[in-house]
């Protein structure tokens, strides 16, 4: 055991200075032990119930975290947020979650400064290239996908995303989808536009196209038409709204909002969100 007492030769002033440091160390250790016990208990509860098949996450709070920690460099701010993806992957694979969709960038974010937009795009590009070459990704069976308006993204980022998709295409244990250049209203509008173009290509009249217009028709023209709807949507940072995330697909999703900022999300927070989902009575409108 580590000896925390001051050395016999320490001066009285040195001893008094050591006491608060020792107290903080012991207090921190006690909290870590308590949280460790709680996390293991929480994990047992979660593993005893069915897992959500698809979890959507709104990655909010990067800028709040930066302000709280005194971080000013946009590149470093969003690199820290991108690094959290590694934790989400590890936690999801370990729990048996089969699909995770992460909202990375929306068309509304284009109103931010060039430096901030560049920080986001640069962090995602670096992370995509790293994931494509990471042997752990292939051992875990991670498949990378993306959805959104590609015309909003720079070519270097598109190349990195395409490379990650191609490198992981044969993996089938978990699919991680980046919603980037993505907005829910834009997706629905694009689906309607695609439906009308399809009708025009088939030579249908306006009346014939209108007769075929239905929820199923919109579903077939979404960015990823075969993607199952999210069972659970998590938003970090304390904001209590979807802000346009998967508007069409979230009609029956369970929602969970947590106060912690995205870069500081802990495994215990992820487990709490899943436990909250497991405790809800899902009736799908019936």
Residue range 71-92, pLDDT digits in tens: 999 999 999 999 999 999 999 9
The runs of H, that is alpha helices, within the chain are 12-47, 62-69, 74-95, 114-133, 135-139, 155-167, 184-201, 206-212, 215-220, 267-278
State yes or no: is 229 an active-site residue.
Answer: no
- Counting beta carbons within 10 angstroms of the beta carbon of residue 85, is it exposed (0 to 12), middle (13 to 18) or buried (19 or more)? buried
CATH of domain 52-182+223-278: 3.40.1180.10
- Tell me if 123 sits within 8 A of 83, measured CB to CB: no
Task: Write down the domain spans for the chain.
Answer: 10-48, 52-182+223-278
Q: Is 227 a residue whose pLDDT tops 60? A: yes
Instruction: Identify the pLDDT of residue 23.
Output: 60
Among residues 60, 62, 134, 231, which one is catalytic?
60
Among residues 62, 86, 87, 109, which one is catalytic?
109
Mean pLDDT of the chain: 91
State yes or no: is 201 an active-site residue.
Answer: no
Q: Is 131 a residue whose pLDDT tops 80? A: yes
In tens, the pLDDT along 178-225 reads 999 999 999 999 999 999 999 999 999 999 999 999 999 999 999 999
Instruction: Identify the pLDDT of residue 215.
Output: 97
Instruction: Identify the pLDDT of residue 72.
Output: 93
Q: Is 59 a residue whose pLDDT tops 70? A: yes
Instruction: Identify the pLDDT of residue 189.
Output: 98
- When comparing pLDDT for 240 and 26, which is higher? 240
């Amino acid at each position: 055991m580590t000896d925390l007492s001051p050395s016999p030769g320490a001066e009285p002033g040195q001893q008094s200075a050591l006491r608060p440091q020792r107290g903080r160390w012991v207090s921190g250790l006690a909290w870590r032990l308590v949280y460790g016990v709680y996390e293991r208990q929480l994990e047992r509860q979660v593993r005893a119930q069915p897992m959500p098949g698809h979890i959507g996450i709104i990655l909010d709070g990067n800028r709040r975290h930066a302000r709280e920690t005194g971080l000013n460099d946009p590149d470093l701010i969003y690199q820290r947020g991108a690094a959290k993806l590694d934790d989400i992957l590890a936690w999801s694979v370990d729990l048996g979650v089969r699909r995770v969709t992460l909202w990375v960038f929306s068309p509304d974010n284009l109103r931010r400064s060039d430096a901030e937009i560049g920080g986001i795009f640069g962090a995602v590009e670096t992370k995509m290239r790293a994931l494509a070459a990471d042997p752990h990704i292939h051992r875990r069976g991670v498949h990378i996908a993306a959805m959104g308006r590609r015309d909003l993204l720079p070519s270097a980022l598109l190349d990195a995303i395409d490379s990650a998709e191609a490198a992981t295409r044969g993996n089938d244990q978990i699919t991680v989808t980046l919603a980037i250049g993505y907005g829910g209203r834009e997706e629905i509008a694009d689906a309607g536009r695609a439906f009308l173009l399809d009708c025009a290509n088939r030579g249908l009249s306006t009346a014939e196209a209108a007769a075929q217009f239905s929820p199923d028709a919109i579903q077939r023209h979404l960015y990823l038409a075969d993607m199952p709807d999210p069972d659970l949507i998590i938003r970090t940072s304390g904001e209590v709204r979807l802000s346009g995330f998967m508007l069409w697909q979230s009609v029956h999703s369970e929602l969970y909002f947590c106060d912690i900022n995205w870069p500081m999300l802990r495994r215990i927070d992820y487990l709490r969100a899943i436990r909250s989902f497991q405790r809800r009575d899902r009736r799908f409108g019936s």
